[in-house]
Structure 1
């Protein structure tokens, strides 16, 4: 069994010291201490001599800062931690925690879902994960007040691969005191998932009075509108505190129709237009936009009756033509495939940005029983209803239906058909509503022992997250019966016997009413739930005082036990001709996991200027996998050779336990007919490969695996923090970081399976660029080809998907920051900050036999934010800038399309290699606030001042067109007004 290794000497040192704690505690004394409201230790730092006040590092009350269990009085430690207050988040114009987190230079998405939750077929449109370092949301751990947040119940969908993550969308911004971000792994402190980083959201635990906050605004281009109401208050007595927050938020969806120029399939870049598109006009049927047609046994469309296409809003009568080519030349002949009804604006009623309504409530209280013992507790309840849509139901010859059939009215054998149901016919029935409930209950005791030498905290928590996803399902049998009526016998043509039907001309070729749709339409509900019950005991204090410098050795330990469970319950009707969900994805799973962990940490002041930190942790799992035990450790060093200068470094091992969905996902079979076939697109020399409804179907076989091990990782950082001499308030810092992730669980989803099969067979990507992800003929390529079964005609018959431990990934980069605080006598106070991240390398491979490829240029290489804040009297203002570096454009490395629409292959004399990049994405935002009196303040925010929206590159096609991975969006300028009113 493969495990994360914890060197024996380090483990022995940690455990031996832990055993000596009681003896050391009896012999030592420490300064008086107290505890913060959330159970973290706060010890007053010793006063500094006045002659040293300018040369000592910045200090504060001793508190537990992210990345360590030991309280400290210095802001900076061995690992870089960024701390941002709730007030700063609001000043930068962010209305949700997720928006702020996604703006951090260290936060970047390497997955389409992470940057764009409206992707076709997404099963988690309400969720907003945090993705540090671009490794994926599953490698960033989200904490609230130091405790782990339960996993979001719905894993990501079958096309992109399953993985679990935590949702950052539920946390009410009105209750945020500060957010701490550790941009590196720390499993030795926090356990599983702390691979790329840890985010700890600290909520307000002391508040006096009541504040009402009203906020409203929207897009100046139209579309999204939002309003928030937040009430935050608190009371306190001699021995008790209570804090409460109630928040209502509403966001309307942004629909495709709100952004003309992005709602039609022919908005695709001109480089994707093939010879037929350029000669005869865009061929919508080849792009999945054929909305209404009947096709005969010769593959020809039956001409729609007069007025039929025109009776539907946004349908268009269109001719389907193709032309023969030879090499780089259009030779003919021209083939007329007939006429059909197209729906060019196929994305018109698709959601570009989901809408939601949420109501959140939070109450926290604590009570001092005696000077050495306090009790505390909290209750949080979050409810959200999300609104989305990326596919309306449509009738098609799903496997199991009597197709082909003989149509009595036309006298033709019908082999394929499509009937798209429209908004006019369905109203809001096509929308998907994700109704969520999440609650978090916590109680605890905290205190001090041994004359206040050690502080302890015992906490019990229970979390549960429930999602009910209500959607419009597909009853293909019901649609067939409604459109074609009962069987009228059989007939034999050319030796083949066909069932006989008579197409209902009015129902098929003309709009119906919502009442008629309801006679065969079906609605479904998928339910998912996750839970986490945990018991945690923390203790920390000073073990002993070193004789050579009089400084104490800090120590902390944590012991935790938890029970985790989840369940995926799709609609019981399954995925058949009588019922199915629009995305042909069937996830059934249920399982539990018990987990126990012990960790300990030591902080040793070796010299007056040199501090060493070491920590170790053991995690034990009981579930259906073979994960068993993970052992991790880390160490860090802090050296302050000169006043105002910190040199630091850290190294650690980390891990991620197999996701419960990867373990417990039941074996299932789904019938798939709407998909993109990269192999077919490559063979046809297509520049892009949009999915569409085929007239052939295949079975997708998927399921979990019990033979999964923990994913292992290691990371290290080194850097400096410098307070610039003789310039008060100016500091700079820079850190190099590197993360290596091995034994990574790769869920081979449908998209990955088909893409790799095509690459391994042809050596090419769609668009003609070389396929370099895996060596052709390698062990992986043999598996990839075997996972896809095709018939003699090249049609897909079956695809096998599922999780496996295999990938290796290594990323490195540099983080930098400059901060400057300037106080003036007459002009007010100024604060300037600049944060920058540069990704130096991004290597990955699947198997050891595959080449190690640097994907740095495929993702955003640099990200930068800049903030300028001013405050004077009742006025304050903030200017905020965000810059994402450029990335390679679609088709980079492939051949440019010729003027006739043919795309040559690499090596062709006509090939001109396309090397364009998408230019950097830069937006500016501003806020101006004025306080009228002690009760009322008004703030005007303008996000994206210059009203930028994403743009379509020459080889971009399909939904969506723009580079969402780079941060581009459709919203444009947003303006909103905030009124803060202090009730008392």
Structure 2
């Protein structure tokens, strides 16, 4: 992982354990070596056995540029810490995508998008959550160039960059600066920068073949990577082709995903404990009184994934079960989630070509072209059909509602969603020197385009209704529609040909593009007479044009005949121009003290209020001893409003599972504690759905922020190869764009109108988040439109500039290298992050609350390597700290499944407050159960990875890698319910288990 290296020029040769290259690295190196980049025959400049740079052949380091600075320098460690790791080490630890590796770093927060999330709009892409600031606050660079945004939005909200589609076989190394750097890189670099350096210097041809997968099934993996390089007197080219295939991990691949009844026992209510957990209906119908109509004998057995279930309703009074009602029978789905994806699959074909031509006069022409072609495979569930109340002329009775889930047996297909993605990235440039070689310059042009075609099985609701219900035959006196239900087709499987009458193949398309030009220059200005090093200077001038377009299937405008599987219709398009000028100075005040200062001006032309952003940064490096670096940095940062947040013209989604807080509060005030409007997990009848409208906001301002770090790096005296570092970091974001979701809007609407809020499903407390007459309250009240009977018709939501977020913590690392002729070479690296605070608020008037406890406070990663002769091995691991379990701070469930609620009392002025005592209701009163809260926690998440490699001969090497050696899988917390059951805020692979891979590497002569 992070390599801490010696701090003075005299120690650099011995400390060359990594090659830190970033935006100006190639420029700096070519200038310092007369325009020629060295190559090694048959290998890169890293030890092929260990993935570490070959220290035995290390030469005097000339000048490199570390991510976070534009100025080449011989001292690699700078004022802010940078993590670097080679592509070989990423594979060595069992990671098959760059995102998997990045997500394991201690500097990362929990994943911001669960792959299986219902309604997710970018299920096959992975954003980064650097410093837990969320997606969009970290910047992805490839070879120092900004990467185009992913075309689809995250949850129909915001832009982000995809960190999972860059092939690991093409990566030379990755650098991570986990601190703000807008004064160097501009927008988005608020939490930090990830700079991916692709392979450049290689001579010969190499074939790498890897295969493996998860021990418990799913995630089968195969990868073929061919790369090589050729050189002449004044030219060099590198080529790379990679083909990989990773199968999806489905719910059916993991036992706890096969049934809703795998929920923690604390989530089982009295009804479930007496009669078994009621899985979701696969096939059912209810009469006018709500009683299930028993299916004909043998019906459930005709359908795959279906069994007969006897439904009951249990009534309670206080702490006792007082009655049982028989509700009849229906066909349930014991494995509802078997077709839900836990980790999407992918098939990719990628190519990369780069080269340079040296004109022998200090002038170089260079260029590169990359194509990433990927097909992502995902799904959520099989389609079904549901009806609201109608009069059935066939049986002469009222049907209150009916539901039917289709099976693969009926559809003839798995109904998976395929995201077909193509991403081009083409760069050309010219670089050289001026003023007698004192200054280096680089002019580059870059163009990128990212296209996604999402193919899915849509649904013709009208045709399905006609198939099962037939045409509407009129209306009853009570206003119910009249149909003649075809019960023969309802209670029996249909054929794929019949299903084809109402299935529709749909395609949503999205594209984004980025064209950018960049001119960079750096060099030495002058030298103070009392120091050895000259004053360094660098500048960059940029111009960029980018845009996006969302193109949902045109048929989506008719919701009766076309509904896509995510119930979303996201539209929007827009463009943006940006012009930037940045500069940086590196001033050696003393031989032991260096000051850096940078500034940047970004001008935006779009329909937001971004206009001009000015940022600056500064840093100090003090080396009182050759073995000690004291450092610190400060900078201002900004993020331009997401283009989709500005230009999205609206997404329309019907919502049928929700809590109506206003109706709930009014019912509780009237003494009705059994009303369903307090429960956000209830599937509403079709007549009670509401329409969710989400649109952009052209009045958005840039999000602004700041960051600072201070710490030290120590090469421990007397212990060769041992170094330690520690840094405190802080960063904040003000004027942050907050997406008001439907739940928030409904909660705040109710609070603003009543002065109360619902806790749990039956407790009322004062609402103090916003004043009743505030502008915010007026806004959210206007965002909800209700029907005459009080039910919700429409909820508007979208982005506003309101929130603030401040995070801080400590990073620490230890590195040790030991060389022994008898036992081989050893390296050890341990990296630790403690997230000290996570303070946030929605409005400036809100209190700044530290909600650090919502996520793991600490993360540790480690790696140890060994190399001797033809053998090498590594052992690595990750530990993520404990997190609060479901229902933390709530009341303990009783043995019979009754869930107490928090008791309340009313003051003389009418204020309702919590008593902190758990109670249950009985006959209009309350009974105190206990005053103890549930304080359960999920234990730390610890996994180990390992690899061993054998260099059979100079051309051939085999490597065996095991990820999650001890087959660690997350347990289901006691109060866990719903989909997935296991917590996902510690690791993205808590259901993956052990994975094994075998790699074969052959170098052609």
Structure 2 length normalisation: TM-score? 0.88
Aligned: 1:955 with 2:975: yes
Shift of 1:168: 1.4
Residue-by-residue CA offset, 1:31-63 (whole Å, 9 max, x unaligned)? xxx9988434556599xxxxxxxxxxx983211
Task: State the distance in 2 between where 1:825 and 1:937 align.
Answer: 22
Q: Which residue in 1 is equivalent to 2:394?
A: 409
Q: Which residue in 2 is equivalent to 1:298?
A: 289
The 5-angstrom pairing of residues 574-653 of structure 1 reads 574-575=556-557, 576-653=559-636
Unmatched tracts of structure 1, length 5 or more: 1-33, 47-57, 398-402
Structure 2 residue corresponding to 1:705, chosen from 686, 697, 711: 697
Task: State the distance in 2 between where 1:772 and 1:731 align.
Answer: 54
Structure 1 residue corresponding to 2:415, chosen from 421, 424, 430: 430
Shift of 1:951: 1.6
Q: Which residue in 2 is equivalent to 1:51?
A: none
Q: Which residue in 2 is equivalent to 1:467?
A: 452
The 5-angstrom pairing of residues 122-201 of structure 1 reads 122-158=120-156, 162-201=157-196
Shift of 1:737: 0.2
Answer whether contact 1:767 1:895 (CA < 8 A) is retained.
no
Q: Which residue in 1 is equivalent to 2:985?
A: 965
The 5-angstrom pairing of residues 381-420 of structure 1 reads 381-397=371-387, 404-420=389-405
Structure 2 residue corresponding to 1:829, chosen from 825, 832, 845: 825
Residue-by-residue CA offset, 1:231-284 (whole Å, 9 max, x unaligned)? 011001111110010000100111111111222111111111122222332233
Secondary structure at 1:151 match in 2: coil
Q: Which residue in 2 is equivalent to 1:666?
A: 649
Unmatched tracts of structure 2, length 5 or more: 1-21, 35-58, 666-672, 903-916, 920-927
Q: Which residue in 1 is equivalent to 2:954?
A: 934
Indicate the larger mover: 964-973 or 321-330: 321-330
Secondary structure at 1:625 match in 2: coil
Shift of 1:955: 1.2
Answer whether contact 1:770 1:894 (CA < 8 A) is retained.
no
Task: State the distance in 2 between where 1:608 and 1:796 align.
Answer: 70
Q: Which residue in 1 is equivalent to 2:52?
A: none
Answer whether contact 1:41 1:455 (CA < 8 A) is retained.
no
Answer whether contact 1:678 1:766 (CA < 8 A) is retained.
no
Residue-by-residue CA offset, 1:198-224 (whole Å, 9 max, x unaligned)? 000011111100000000001111222
Q: Which residue in 2 is equivalent to 1:983?
A: 1004
Q: Which residue in 2 is equivalent to 1:279?
A: 274
Indicate the larger mover: 963-972 or 833-842: 963-972
Task: State the distance in 2 between where 1:798 and 1:81 align.
Answer: 48
Q: Which residue in 2 is equivalent to 1:73?
A: 74
Task: State the distance in 2 between where 1:814 and 1:392 align.
Answer: 46
Task: State the distance in 2 between where 1:40 and 1:154 align.
Answer: 37
Shift of 1:681: 9.3
Q: Which residue in 2 is equivalent to 1:55?
A: none
Shift of 1:184: 0.5
CA change 1:957–1:142 in 2 (3 A) is same
Answer whether contact 2:25 2:64 (CA < 8 A) is retained.
no
Task: State the distance in 1 between where 2:978 and 2:712 align.
Answer: 46
Task: State the distance in 2 between where 1:735 and 1:794 align.
Answer: 55
Task: State the distance in 1 between where 2:138 and 2:535 align.
Answer: 30
Q: Which residue in 2 is equivalent to 1:39?
A: 27
Shift of 1:932: 0.5
The 5-angstrom pairing of residues 730-745 of structure 1 reads 730-745=722-737
The 5-angstrom pairing of residues 50-89 of structure 1 reads 60-89=61-90
Q: Which residue in 2 is equivalent to 1:527?
A: 509
Structure 2 residue corresponding to 1:516, chosen from 466, 479, 498: 498
Shift of 1:117: 2.0
Answer whether contact 2:704 2:735 (CA < 8 A) is retained.
yes
CA change 1:717–1:764 in 2 (3 A) is farther
Secondary structure at 1:94 match in 2: coil
Residue-by-residue CA offset, 1:127-148 (whole Å, 9 max, x unaligned)? 1222211111210100000000
Answer whether contact 2:31 2:440 (CA < 8 A) is retained.
no
Secondary structure at 1:865 match in 2: strand
Answer whether contact 1:219 1:973 (CA < 8 A) is retained.
yes
Answer whether contact 1:454 1:542 (CA < 8 A) is retained.
yes
Secondary structure at 1:965 match in 2: coil
Shift of 1:108: 1.8
Task: State the distance in 1 between where 2:674 and 2:421 align.
Answer: 44
Shift of 1:516: 1.5
CA change 1:684–1:60 in 2 (3 A) is farther
Q: Which residue in 2 is equivalent to 1:262?
A: 257
CA change 1:367–1:876 in 2 (3 A) is same
Answer whether contact 1:685 1:767 (CA < 8 A) is retained.
no
Q: Which residue in 2 is equivalent to 1:819?
A: 815
Task: State the distance in 2 between where 1:661 and 1:799 align.
Answer: 19
Structure 2 residue corresponding to 1:317, chosen from 295, 308, 318: 308
CA change 1:676–1:435 in 2 (3 A) is farther
Structure 2 residue corresponding to 1:775, chosen from 760, 769, 781: 769
CA change 1:739–1:317 in 2 (3 A) is same
Task: State the distance in 1 between where 2:733 and 2:550 align.
Answer: 28
CA change 1:139–1:491 in 2 (3 A) is closer
Aligned: 1:883 with 2:868: no
Secondary structure at 1:381 match in 2: strand
Structure 2 residue corresponding to 1:747, chosen from 709, 719, 739: 739
Q: Which residue in 1 is equivalent to 2:471?
A: 486
CA change 1:717–1:539 in 2 (3 A) is same
Residue-by-residue CA offset, 1:120-178 (whole Å, 9 max, x unaligned)? 222212112222111112101000000000000000124xxx11111112212122111
CA change 1:325–1:800 in 2 (3 A) is farther
Q: Which residue in 2 is equivalent to 1:243?
A: 238
Shift of 1:851: 2.1
Answer whether contact 2:24 2:65 (CA < 8 A) is retained.
no
Shift of 1:466: 0.2
Shift of 1:497: 4.5
Q: Which residue in 1 is equivalent to 2:210?
A: 215
Shift of 1:327: 4.3
Q: Which residue in 2 is equivalent to 1:23?
A: none
The 5-angstrom pairing of residues 792-811 of structure 1 reads 795-811=791-807
Secondary structure at 2:88 match in 1: helix
Q: Which residue in 2 is equivalent to 1:11?
A: none
Q: Which residue in 1 is equivalent to 2:56?
A: none
Task: State the distance in 1 between where 2:263 and 2:23 align.
Answer: 59
Paired positions, count: 921
The two structures, once aligned, show a CA RMSD in angstroms of 2.5
Aligned: 1:506 with 2:495: no
Task: State the distance in 1 between where 2:854 and 2:766 align.
Answer: 13
Answer whether contact 2:263 2:977 (CA < 8 A) is retained.
yes
Q: Which residue in 1 is equivalent to 2:843?
A: 847
Aligned: 1:553 with 2:540: no
Q: Which residue in 1 is equivalent to 2:98?
A: 97
Secondary structure at 1:278 match in 2: helix
Secondary structure at 1:741 match in 2: strand
Task: State the distance in 2 between where 1:185 and 1:612 align.
Answer: 18
Q: Which residue in 1 is equivalent to 2:907?
A: none
Task: State the distance in 2 between where 1:40 and 1:475 align.
Answer: 60
Task: State the distance in 2 between where 1:175 and 1:138 align.
Answer: 24
The 5-angstrom pairing of residues 322-341 of structure 1 reads 322-332=313-323, 334-341=324-331
